[in-house]
Amino acid sequence: MRRSNKFTTADYIWMAIGIIITILLLFPVYLMIMYGFETLEDMFHIPPYWFPPNITFEPLIETFSGLKSNIINSLIVAIGCLGITLFTAPFAGYALAHHSYRFGKYVNFALILSQMFPVVMLSIPVFIMYSNVGLVNTYAGLILADATYTIPLCTLILAAYMRSIPFELIEAALIDGASHFTTFFRVVVPVAKSGIATSAIFAFLLPWADFLYALVLAIDNKIQPMSVGLYKYMELYGLRWNNLMAGGFIFSIPALVVVTLAGKFIVKGLTAGALKQ
């Protein structure tokens, strides 16, 4: 059945609704960026400006200078969590997708169940356990805490993606004498690169945006990431909202860059397996 290329009235209505919703969702982001380049006087001007009349980079420079160490801490934690996740989740997803075993469904259920517990409920037990083993106020502690929800999530994403890979490809490689290890890296990884890229995006962005684990486990200012640094920046500078908006803009830059450059991988990776033959 050939799909018609003609737009109906209903299509235009839904398109208009989608555009309106998109504008409403992006409007706070626009205000955050605009206020980050304004002075306090212009920010509280009545009537409000829809575009900065006098663009200034002072709030951006001040905030970046004050939070530079926090940005480095966030990068260390996010990259460390990304490394651990990519070292474990692809193997686990491959095993769940193409190797049936007795307790496979229970493992799947456990991974799904792990995503249902909010971090606010787990943060105090994790802090108590970390206190007993000396992981509080350490990069390793933050990385491991964030990995407890990135690894299960990425494993589920990759398992769904790898189920869409024909098992005949894997079987042919095994028949030709390749080991499971060689088959995984020579056959599975090249085919599943979109799913792995999607997992990598989540494995970086989730620890980058983490706040609760960082607030509870990073008591020392020296290892606090950007999320906590920006929160404490509010305590230090009070109503300097233009600096806070500039900090929020800096904090959102990695997410904006990653989603803009790799958005197609997110869509392809999350929808993989939906139309498996």
pLDDT by residue, tens only, the chain of 277 residues: 455 566 778 878 888 998 999 899 888 888 888 888 888 777 777 787 788 888 888 888 888 888 888 999 999 999 999 999 999 999 888 888 877 666 677 777 888 887 888 888 888 888 899 889 888 899 999 999 999 889 999 998 888 888 887 777 887 887 887 777 888 888 888 888 888 888 888 899 899 988 888 888 888 888 889 888 888 877 666 667 888 888 888 888 888 887 777 666 665 555 554 444 4
Report the residue count for the chain: 277
DSSP percent split of the chain into helix, strand, coil, nearest 5: 75, 0, 25
What is the DSSP-derived secondary structure letter of residue 223?
G
User: CB under 8 Å, gap of 24 or more: what pairs does 6-15 form?
Assistant: none
Is the distance from CB of 59 to CB of 245 less than 8 angstroms?
Answer: yes
**pLDDT value of position 275:** 45
Extended beta strands in the chain, E state: none
**In whole angstroms, what is the distance from residue 13 CA to residue 105 CA?**
43
Domains of the chain by start residue, with CATH: 7-56 (no CATH), 67-240+249-270 (1.10.3720.10)
**In whole angstroms, what is the distance from residue 229 CA to residue 250 CA?**
12
**In whole angstroms, what is the distance from residue 277 CA to residue 203 CA?**
29
Q: Which residues contact 207 (CB under 8 A, 6 or more apart)?
A: 77, 78, 81, 82, 142, 143, 146, 147, 150
Is the distance from CB of 249 to CB of 34 less than 8 angstroms?
Answer: no
Q: What angle do CA 190, 196, 201 make, to 5 degrees?
A: 145
**pLDDT value of position 142:** 92
Count of Cβ atoms closer than 10 Å to residue 20 Cβ: 10
Is the distance from CB of 93 to CB of 150 less than 8 angstroms?
Answer: no
**pLDDT value of position 82:** 92
**pLDDT value of position 188:** 84
Verdict on whether the full-model pTM lies above 0.95: no
Could you tell me the end-to-end alpha-carbon distance of the chain, in angstroms, rounded to an integer?
18
Is the distance from CB of 85 to CB of 150 less than 8 angstroms?
Answer: yes
Assigned token pair, 210: 């983490």
**pLDDT value of position 143:** 93
Q: Which amino acid is at 133?
A: V
**pLDDT value of position 123:** 85
What is the DSSP-derived secondary structure letter of residue 185?
I
